[in-house]
Amino acid sequence: QSVLTQPPSVSAAPGQKVTISCSGSNYNIGNNYVSWYQQFPGTAPRVLIYDNDKRPSGIPDRFSGSNFGTSVTLDITGLQPGDEAEYYCGVWDSSLSAEVFGTGTKVSGL
Amino acid sequence: QLVESGGGVVQPGGSLTLSCAASNFTFSSYGMHWVRQAPGKGLEWVTFIWFDGNTKYYADSVKGRFSVSRDNSRNTLHLQMNSLRAEDTAVYYCVRDQSAARPWFFDLWGRGSLVTVSS
């Protein structure tokens, strides 16, 4: 059972915005930086966001992250068919001395 | 680039060693992880090793059964897996951390190696 909770799925029409939440505790999100990963079926994940809200080079600014204490969100604006994938949050948990991932959220277009 | 090898089918209670060959970056400057994903399931972190191999962390689910090591002279990461169980069946990814020591974020992933534990 994951210590980080995400909604199983979110959907929106092309061009619209989706928001994925990731809820944790003071042991993880509340005291460490969160990263977000995108995964397409049959492929390895890739990092979209690190340090809660920073984008690596090459990641479109349609992807943005925010921090709200013990929860974070990933926004995808201008949703495109190519964004349909699974999304995971990840963060170091100081009490477990372990990296923890969210349960994953499948993004779909309507 | 990260390339895993050593996956395959093993019986419950058996052992297997995965290897990860790193190239095109200074391997000895980065901490490294193993992350696994069971079929149809989410990501599960397995272990992290510091750049110099002196500090290691393990998930509770593998503690005492799995052992991570690295050979910086050969740019190689290893995962020794003992007492394997059916629930260890997964694709195992070798992953680079952007940090040398304190885990930060995963910035480079291998393609993964499938381990199947079955009789």
Q: Which residues, 6+ apart, have CB-to-CB distance to A58 below 8 Å?
A: none
Contact flag A51-B111 (C-beta cutoff 8 Å): no
pLDDT tens by residue, B74-115? 999 999 999 999 999 999 999 999 999 989 999 999 999 999
Low-confidence ranges of chain A (pLDDT < 70): 1
Report the distance separating Cα B3 and Cα B111, nearest Å: 7
Query: Do residues A2 and A102 touch, judged by C-beta distance below 8 A?
Result: yes
The torsion angles phi and psi of B88, rounded to 5 degrees, stand at -85, -5
Report the distance separating Cα B72 and Cα B74, nearest Å: 5
Contact flag B42-A101 (C-beta cutoff 8 Å): yes
Residue A3, pLDDT score: 86
Residue B14 scores a pLDDT above 70: yes
Å between B84 CA and nearest CA of chain A: 20
Query: Which residue has 């169980």 as its token pair?
Result: B85
Residue A61, pLDDT score: 96
pLDDT tens by residue, B40-79? 999 999 999 999 999 999 999 999 999 999 999 999 999 9
Chain B residues inside the 8 Å CB shell of A104 = 42-43
